[in-house]
Amino acid sequence: MIQLTEKDLQQIATKGIAKEKVRSQIEIFEDGIPFVNLVNAAVVGEGISKFTVREQKSLITKFEGSKENLTLLKFVPASGAASRMFKALFNFLDSYDPSKESLKKYFERTNDTDLQVFSTGLKDFPFYDIVQERIKGKFSNKDEELYLFVKEMMSEEALNYGFYPKGLLPFHNYGDHSATPYEEHLKEASNYARVGDEANLHFTISEQHIRMFTKEYGAIKDRLSKATETNFNVGYSYQKASTDTIAVDMDNNPFRNSDDSLLFRPGGHGALIENLNEEEADVIFIKNIDNVVVPNAQDEL
């Protein structure tokens, strides 16, 4: 059995986790997760309901006629960071030096298909103009341009997109401005989660990003409220530390930080059930942060 020190037990207690739960997590790493015996597949008529067009219209009419007497809330898990999304770009910065190698040689050497796709569609990204404006005049050829473009995106001294939550990255380009997923969720809420002129939203985020979200809201709220004729009531919560999972090494021993403290990793979105349970509303719409559409496609929702 894994031995935990008094310091370990204090750290575990501070996070609100029972020591038995930590031991149970380690046992799962050791033994694996048992297979689930499925009774049957969920199909239409058995676990899944399918409505005709006529039934859909009837249900929509009923909802629209009743919602003035209901409390509606849009709940958006938004704690995901962009770091994993930009893994290929971080690898590129670590592996490529435009002063020593051409981009063609780099692709031949690494077969970096992710970076090839990225470079081909560069001008289609909603942040293209933002980055280009910052590196304008600093490169002498296309190879240097791509390297500086990625460096400007990722560097802590520059845009630092790798640190951003996914919800605050430029996501859709409207020509006169680019919109983040956060902004798009507010706009969507005005369409189907509004009662009168009020729309309530709750975002679960990482605590380190709270200032970034509140700053973004301050920058867009007046424009959005005017465009949608909606007053937005926005709340935030953090994923609870008590839902974290202990990290282990390849021998299933607790992994320790440089200060000898235990390393814990945040649980998946399932851990947010506790945050959801604390919200009060008659109807709650749940939609992940990067699951958004542009306004001209919302009729298809």
Helix (H, G, I), strand (E, B) or coil at 33: coil
pLDDT tens digit sequence for 193-229: 999 999 999 999 988 899 999 999 999 999 999 999 9
Give residue 1's pLDDT band: very low, low, confident or very high (50, 70, 90): low
Mean local confidence (pLDDT), 84-102: 92
Tens-digit pLDDT profile for residues 122-150:
999 999 999 999 999 999 999 999 999 99
What is the amino acid identity at position 190? S
Q: State yes or no: pLDDT of 2 exceeds 90.
A: no
In the chain, what are the domain boundaries? 71-81+175-300, 87-163
| Mean pLDDT value across the chain | 92
Instruction: Specify the DSSP element, H or E, that contains 285.
Output: strand 283-286
Dihedral sign for Cα atoms in the order 145, 179, 86, 258: positive
Over the stretch 164-197, which tens digit does the pLDDT of each residue have?
A: 999 999 999 888 889 999 999 999 999 999 999 9
Residue 92 makes CB contacts below 8 A (sequence gap 6+) with 112, 115, 147, 150
Q: What is the pLDDT of residues 246-299, one digit of tens each?
A: 999 999 999 999 999 999 988 777 889 989 999 999 999 999 998 887 766 555
